[in-house]
């Protein structure tokens, strides 16, 4: 399959004629059952018509994703919600008022128009209203309901720049809208509203604290921050190896000096074995590491920057064929919880405390 690739600016509503034409083409492709990768404020999505079972099957095939791993349905306006869920609880209204459009996904009871192919066989559906202007326009032009997982091959870090969408999806889907770098860089927060107490299944930019301030009591799924191999996570997707670079990744937690010393000692050992090493650090210490490839995810104090850069850095290690990677650990308050959740999963929960 020849994949059409078109550039589009995400920071303006005033599209050029070429951009308008690209959006219309993308919308038509989705309406006709095809697949289009597009930017959102979280990560790039791989979109198909959420109400067409054949489109969802194509999404699973293009990603190599297990078909019991449900997709998130993206909508552009609040009216669209009523058609795909059985009931809109008070908590959903409050959360939508506070965080939509934006990086929050809600799990609700699905209604009949949503095929089981889209929900991985479940009776519930995940719904999000993105804020990204390109995503919103595309949703409108393609009929109102786009099922979209992240636009990466299953298991790889989600793409935050179009280059990695092209790397994974060129030849596998109909079209890619290249909107440059995304803003947030981590997938949406997922909150399950079908349980008696709202439960966070995946942390993200909207933090647990922010959710509590809006709806009161909120639980965290027990598999969120630790090894879930023995548990059945409520978000089926979280059980799969995720976000992972090809190299073996270990997170190193401890006092700053101890972390730098431990990592440099390990790098010395790797060098003796002729293994290519990498480090994920932060601005303050990155110059001190002796690895073959050292990448800073930014200033430790600026969690937003760390979130935005993490996946790109994980991908860059693959580009450089790094075999063993060490990463500094991060505090788990605020969006730091989402950063550590992804890093721990990418590392398969390999953590060294020094
Ligand atoms: P991705 O599309 O790659 O961002 O992954 C979507 C995530 O949402 C996966 O971890 C899914 O398991 C989760 N998810 C989607 N729909 C549901 C649902 N109905 N119930 C629970 N988790 C869901
Ligand atoms: Mg994904």
Determine which residue's CA is closest to atom 1 belonging to ligand 1: 149
- Encode pLDDT of 110-161 as tens digits: 999 999 999 999 999 999 999 999 999 999 999 999 999 999 999 899 999 9
Closest atom of ligand 1 to CA, residue 110: 19
* Predicted TM-score (pTM) of this structure: 0.94
Place of tokens 């404020």: 41
Q: What pLDDT is stored for residue 244 in this prediction?
A: 85
71 CA to centre of ligand 1 in angstroms: 6
Determine which residue's CA is closest to atom 20 belonging to ligand 1: 235
Give the ligand with the smallest distance to the CA of 191: 1
Q: What pLDDT is stored for residue 243 in this prediction?
A: 80
Q: Which of 42, 72, 111, 135 to mutate to test the pocket of ligand 1 (most atoms within 8 A of CB)?
A: 72
Q: What pLDDT is stored for residue 119 in this prediction?
A: 97
Torsion, Cα of 227, 230, 234, 238 (10° steps): 50
Q: Which of 47, 236, 242 to mutate to test the pocket of ligand 1 (most atoms within 8 A of CB)?
A: 236
Compute the chain's Rg from CA coordinates.
Answer: 20
Determine which residue's CA is closest to atom 11 belonging to ligand 1: 237
Torsion, Cα of 209, 215, 218, 221 (10° steps): -90
Q: Which of 237, 239, 242 to mutate to test the pocket of ligand 1 (most atoms within 8 A of CB)?
A: 237
CATH 3.40.50.11030 fits 248-353, yes or no: yes
Question: What would be the CATH architecture of the domain defined by 4-220?
Answer: Alpha-Beta Complex (3.90)
Q: What pLDDT is stored for residue 232 in this prediction?
A: 63
Residue 289: Cβ-neighbour burial (10 angstroms; 0-12, 13-18, 19+): buried
Determine which residue's CA is closest to atom 2 belonging to ligand 1: 149
Which regions in the chain score pLDDT beneath 70? 12-13, 226-233, 235-241
254 CA to centre of ligand 2 in angstroms: 29
329 CA to centre of ligand 2 in angstroms: 22
Determine which residue's CA is closest to atom 23 belonging to ligand 1: 235
Q: What pLDDT is stored for residue 3 in this prediction?
A: 98
Q: Which of 38, 46, 64, 69 to mutate to test the pocket of ligand 1 (most atoms within 8 A of CB)?
A: 69
286 CA to centre of ligand 2 in angstroms: 28
187 CA to centre of ligand 1 in angstroms: 10
Q: Does residue 140 contact residue 80 with C-beta atoms inside 8 Å?
A: no
Please give all residues whose beta carbon lies within 6 A of any atom in ligand 1, as ranges: 69-72, 107, 119, 122, 124-126, 149-150, 187, 190, 201, 234-238
Q: What pLDDT is stored for residue 10 in this prediction?
A: 85
54 CA to centre of ligand 2 in angstroms: 20
Q: Where are the domains of the chain?
A: 4-220, 248-353
Closest atom of ligand 1 to CA, residue 72: 15
């Amino acid at each position: 399959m020849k994949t059409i690739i078109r550039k589009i600016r995400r920071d303006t509503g005033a599209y050029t004629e070429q951009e308008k034409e690209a959006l219309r083409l993308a919308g038509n492709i989705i309406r006709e059952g095809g697949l289009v990768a597009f930017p959102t404020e979280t990560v790039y999505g791989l979109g198909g018509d959420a109400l067409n079972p054949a489109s969802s099957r194509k999404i699973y095939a293009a990603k190599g994703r297990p078909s019991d791993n449900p997709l998130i349905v993206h909508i552009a306006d609040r009216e669209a919600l009523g058609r795909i869920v059985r009931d809109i609880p008070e908590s959903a209204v409050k959360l939508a008022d506070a965080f939509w459009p934006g990086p929050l996904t809600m799990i609700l009871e699905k209604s009949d128009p949503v095929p089981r192919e889209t929900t991985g066989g479940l009776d519930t559906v995940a719904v999000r209203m993105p804020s990204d202007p390109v995503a919103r326009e595309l949703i409108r032009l393609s009929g109102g309901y786009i099922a979209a997982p992240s636009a990466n091959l299953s298991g790889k870090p989600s793409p935050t720049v179009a280059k990695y969408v092209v790397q994974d999806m060129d030849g596998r889907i109909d079209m890619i809208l290249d909107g440059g770098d995304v803003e947030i860089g981590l997938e949406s927060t997922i909150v399950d509203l079908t349980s008696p107490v709202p439960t966070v299944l995946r942390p993200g930019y909207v933090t647990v604290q922010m959710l509590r301030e809006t709806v009161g009591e909120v639980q965290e799924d027990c598999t969120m921050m630790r090894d879930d191999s023995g548990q059945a996570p409520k978000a089926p997707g979280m059980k799969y190896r995720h976000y992972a670079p090809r190299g073996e990744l270990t997170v190193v937690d401890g006092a700053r000096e101890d972390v730098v010393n431990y990592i440099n000692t390990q790098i010395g050992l790797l060098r003796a074995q002729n293994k290519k090493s990498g480090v994920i650090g932060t601005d303050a210490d990155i110059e001190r590491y002796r690895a073959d490839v050292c990448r800073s995810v930014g200033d430790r104090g600026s969690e937003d920057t760390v979130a935005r850069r993490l996946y790109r850095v994980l991908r860059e290690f693959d580009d450089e064929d790094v075999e063993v990677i060490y990463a500094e650990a991060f505090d788990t308050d605020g969006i730091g919880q989402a950063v550590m959740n992804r890093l721990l999963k990418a590392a398969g929960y390999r953590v060294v405390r020094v």
